[in-house]
Amino acid sequence: MRIAYFDSFSGICGDMILGALVDSGLRIERLEEELEKLGLEGFRIEKRKIKKGLISATRIEVVTKEKERMRRDLREITTLIEKSTLEDKVKILSAAIFFNLARAEAKVHGTSIEEVRFHEVGATDAIIDIVGAVVGIAELEIERIYSSPLPLGKGFIRCGHGILPLPAPATLELLKNIPVYGKGVKEELVTPTGAAIISTLASSFGRMPRMRIERIGYGAGGRHLTHPNLLRLIIGESY
């Protein structure tokens, strides 16, 4: 069985996941072809090879023409996914990620799932991050996903909801029953998007499982930290 281990020593977010998948062999042209099936307009994916510390990594950025980040509700997003020509498995997993995210937001804000309107996560770039992650996993024929425990930062962040403590409340809600630890860094290391993707897709969190390693990829984040802001993806055959 082909498996993947996300080594999240510096956190996890949507663009880091995409970067790690591309660095592991996902062709950017193939990713773009699949994402075009969503019917979203006004975005492009930029790929760069950069260094974080001494390590070469891939940085992926989704650039959009949106003057303001769009607010979409769960129904709008799931309809967008369902009407696309993506593979059924990609549709199901992508919709599941958004459902889990909506459930977390509803719990935090004391409202219903139907009433949740996504701010940052409803924007085109976040949709591309989430659906792109599922597409990449399918393209690399990964059958099961594992993850390390997740490091959490501290401090505050300004977002569509105002000023929030870190980790963001929705992030914490998504990480219930998942092993985490405080990193002591005043930065957002795990974003709601990253938490939603990995909590939905990973079978378990802990030490790296037994595998014969085939590929290793590094996805670069946008943080400037005292340690390399990278997500390491290790792919191989279980034994």
End-to-end Cα separation, the chain, in angstroms: 8
Q: Give the pLDDT of residue 65.
A: 77
pLDDT in tens, 39-98: 998 889 999 999 998 999 999 999 887 655 677 889 999 999 999 999 999 999 999 999
Between helix 124-139 and helix 88-109 the angle, nearest 10°, is 140
- CA–CA distance, 70 with 118 (Å, rounded to integer): 8
What's the domain range around 82?
2-238
Mean residue pLDDT of the chain comes to 93
Residue 119 clears pLDDT 80, i.e. is over it? no
- CA–CA distance, 86 with 89 (Å, rounded to integer): 8
Are 220 and 2 within 8 A, CB to CB? Answer: no
pLDDT in tens, 16-55: 999 999 999 999 999 999 999 999 988 899 999 999 989 9
- Looking at the structure of the chain, the number of domains it has is 1
Q: Give the pLDDT of residue 145.
A: 98
Hunting for tokens 């390693």 — which residue is that? 213
- CA–CA distance, 233 with 216 (Å, rounded to integer): 6
Q: Give the pLDDT of residue 72.
A: 85
